[in-house]
A and B are shown apart, each in its own frame.
Chain A
Amino acid sequence: MLRLTNNFRTLYIAGDILNSNPHLLNSQSVRWRKPRWVPKAKSKIFRVPPRLVLPEDERIELMRLNANYKTQMKSIRKYLFDKYSNLNATEADPETQRKEFEEDFARCMEINNKWNDEQRVLREKRVAEELEAELDFARKAVELKTEKQIEQLETVEEIVRREKELSKSYILPENIDAAIEHALANPVDYNFAVNLNGEKVTGFEKEDKDKQRASVIQ
């Protein structure tokens, strides 16, 4: 029903055109087929159309006719193309063409040069700015590096000074005998306790050894 009304509408519009334009007297705009954007009918979704099977003699005759038609049309098309492209080529005067081309080229060059000049001013400014920025960056980098080097040097100096201080108490071949004697003369007992008065109480190690010896003898 919808389709029918649609078609009536089409016919109605066509009628309007017909009334206004006598050349379209015989034209009739009725589209019975579905438009492209309407999906496939539900009843047709799973339909598999049968393959076309042509008898052999018909097949070869159709092939011959198609091949003939294509050859003839190609030949005619090429002939006409060559003929009219040649005609057009001869119509134009090469001298005028060259002159036109040169004028056009000169005009283009003028515009191009103008653009180039504008661009050159911009480019030079930009390049100068970029150079200045790079120089700044480099100067800052040098400064930073120098500061860091000085800092490092100071740290090293500090280490050397400390080591020199310490080296006074080093045991060397010259004073090794004195050091040994000093060590033997002053035995250090780390196994000590601290009493309530804050005094060191030593002598534990000796007692332990005596006890051990006693247990071995028993």
Chain B
Amino acid sequence: MPYKYIGRTTDFKGKTLWEILGNLKNFGVGRIVARGMFERYPEPSYIKVLKVETLATPETVTPDDVRKVRVWVERTFRGKAFPNPIILESASYKADYKLIPKDEEEAYCRTTVKEEAKVYPKSFDFPPLMKELILRDIRAEGGNTKEELKLEIVYNKASKRTKYRIAEDGEKPNVEIVMGFGKPASPSLYEGIKL
């Protein structure tokens, strides 16, 4: 009889980590496992299992906690390997892992997408009204208003390590970030509208 699923659907696709590793010889040490959620990126993301440790039954038994396992892995995220092994425990219960067969490992882990290193601008303009207010303050204090006012951009620190860098002084960024509406990613949505 076919399964009939009820309730809300999920984006997860696969098994929990223990469901995979518990069935493998030597708990799958040396094997490659991938998260279904990370397959949305063009670069490959996968983990290599280094060591597996089971956990004691938690004090308060919840459906998530009883499915957890502690795994030391070498993580590669979006084609970039992490320098140190990491411990995967809190996310190990997610039914979103899949085992990569040994003969497909090489093809799966190969980085085919070569992206140019992104250089982001260090600053952009102030919002127009704010700029006027600041200029007024400077004028009131008798300062120099000829100097160009720029607002330093705050970026996400975590992804700055791997995904991009910020332009040095005098360097030209290859990604444009502007204050205000910016350039639409899908111009078809704005047809007939004056931007």
Is the C-beta of A163 less than 8 angstroms from some C-beta in chain B?
no
Interface size on B, residues (CB 8 A): 21
Q: Which segment of B17-25, B75-83, B107-115, B184-192 sits at the interface?
A: B184-192
Establish whether residues B186 and A61, one from each chain, have CB atoms under 8 Å apart when the complex forms.
yes
B135 to chain A, nearest CB (A): 14
Residues of A69-97 contacting chain B, CB below 8 A = 71-72, 74-79
Establish whether residues A78 and B9, one from each chain, have CB atoms under 8 Å apart when the complex forms.
no
Closest A residue by C-beta to B182: A68
Closest A residue by C-beta to B10: A51
Is the C-beta of B164 less than 8 angstroms from some C-beta in chain A?
no
Taken together as a complex, chains A and B put the C-alpha atoms of A60 and B188 apart, in Å, by 12
Is the C-beta of B151 less than 8 angstroms from some C-beta in chain A?
yes
Is the C-beta of A48 less than 8 angstroms from some C-beta in chain B?
yes
A8-52 vs B, CB cutoff 8 Å, 1 = contact: the mask equals 000000000000000000000000000000000000000011010
Establish whether residues B184 and A76, one from each chain, have CB atoms under 8 Å apart when the complex forms.
no
Taken together as a complex, chains A and B put the C-alpha atoms of A171 and B152 apart, in Å, by 116
A105 to chain B, nearest CB (A): 37
Partner of A72, one of B7, B179, B186: B179
Chain B residues in 8 Å Cβ range of A61: 184-186, 189
Is the C-beta of A207 less than 8 angstroms from some C-beta in chain B?
no
B111-135 vs A, CB cutoff 8 Å, 1 = contact: the mask equals 0000000000000100100100000
Establish whether residues B8 and A75, one from each chain, have CB atoms under 8 Å apart when the complex forms.
no
Partner of A48, one of B7, B152, B179, B184: B7
**Known: A48-B8, A57-B188, A76-B127. Contact between A64 and B152, CB under 8 A?**
no
User: Nearest 5 pairs between A and B by C-beta?
Assistant: A57-B186, A74-B154, A64-B185, A61-B186, A60-B185
Can you sample 10 A-B contacts with CB below 8 Å? Answer: A49-B8, A51-B8, A61-B184, A61-B185, A61-B186, A64-B185, A71-B154, A72-B127, A75-B152, A79-B151
